[in-house]
Amino acid sequence: MNIQIKDKKIGEEYPTYIIAELSGNHNQDFDLAVKTVYAMKEAGADAVKLQTYTADTITLNSEKPDFKTRADSLWAGQKLHDLYQVAYTPWEWQPKLKQLANDLGMHCFSSPFDPTSVDFLEQMNVPAYKIASFEITDIPLIKYAASKGKPIIMSTGIADIADIDLAIAACHSVGNHQIALLKCTSAYPTPLEDAHLQNIPFLQSKYKTVVGLSDHTLGTIVPITAVALGARIVEKHFILDRNLGGVDSAFSLDAIEFKEMVDSIRNVEKALGRKDYFLSEKGKRAKVSARSLYITQDMKKGDVFTHENVRSVRPAYGLHPQYLEEVLGKKVAEDVEAATALKWELVEK
């Protein structure tokens, strides 16, 4: 259940892989995009994710109602082509942003939205492909991206089980088995009650693959909880400062919030520890403070052990409490003082 992106293994035994999504939060300002990538590094991201499309590669420039945003969306009433014209990341920026991310020690890859974007990203030598939620039904696109032999990370925001099955089969059909699924809810922002994080262990069990979270909720509680439930990838939209505005600013974390999320995730990983039950070294040392059998009254040789003169108390220097019934009724082998730890040598044979 592991995949590998360049030098990083991703899976149950490895640290959570944290992706900072730039999306359109650059406001068509290259210098702002550069500053944002620097901030992503400072916040602890493992990877920068871009989106590779133009308005013309993702939709049609049409006035028909089909090509308007949904009435219940954050961008209600806009023409899709106009929205994507504002939100897209200029392709000429992308090799420069990837080089910057790499120089800073982060990975950089993208979501392709058509075959030409896959070809472009191949020229950039991206280490992985991210399939966006609304593209999980584009089986030809998935198959083409998967054919490049890179890990495929797929969001499941609008997918039912049949959609996921088809998408995974598309990857397998071209020999690509490095697949990760991201639990996602395609609502912007996502209400907490729609996060359904218990789908994470379900997807792990059903598909035997790496599972993570692509999150659009406000705040950090959902991604942190997702890691506790087994998410090994967390993707979150990143904005340098929400006061700058932007198409995705309403559900993006700013630099301070993103770092708080990363720090909390790393602390959760420490707290989760190992799956197999074991007693830590500190636990072993503390065990001396447990209970054991002590003689509670002065006794003379030959006196009989009773509930009045033997008790289970802290600490644990005497016999295990399980032996109380075995000791009762037997005689003490020598004179002893009260508060003496009961040992077998003090029990008359």
Tokens of 268: 């959760």
Give all domains of the chain, ordered by start, each with its CATH number.
9-53+88-272 (3.20.20.70), 281-346 (3.90.1210.10)
Spatial contact of 17 and 45, defined as CB atoms under 8 Å apart:
no
Choice among 10-14, 81-85, 132-136, 200-204 with the minimum mean pLDDT? 81-85
Mention every residue, 6+ apart, whose C-beta is less than 8 A from residue 154: 130, 131, 136, 142, 164, 167, 179, 180, 181, 182
pLDDT of the residue at 73:
62
| pLDDT per residue as tens digits for the range 51-101 | 999 989 999 999 888 888 766 666 566 788 888 887 899 999 999 999 999
Alpha carbon distance 212, 230 (integer Å): 8
228-252 per-position pLDDT tens digit: 999 999 999 999 998 888 788 888 9
Distance CA 163, CA 186 (A): 15
pTM over 0.85: yes
| Cβ(24)–Cβ(77) below 8 Å | no
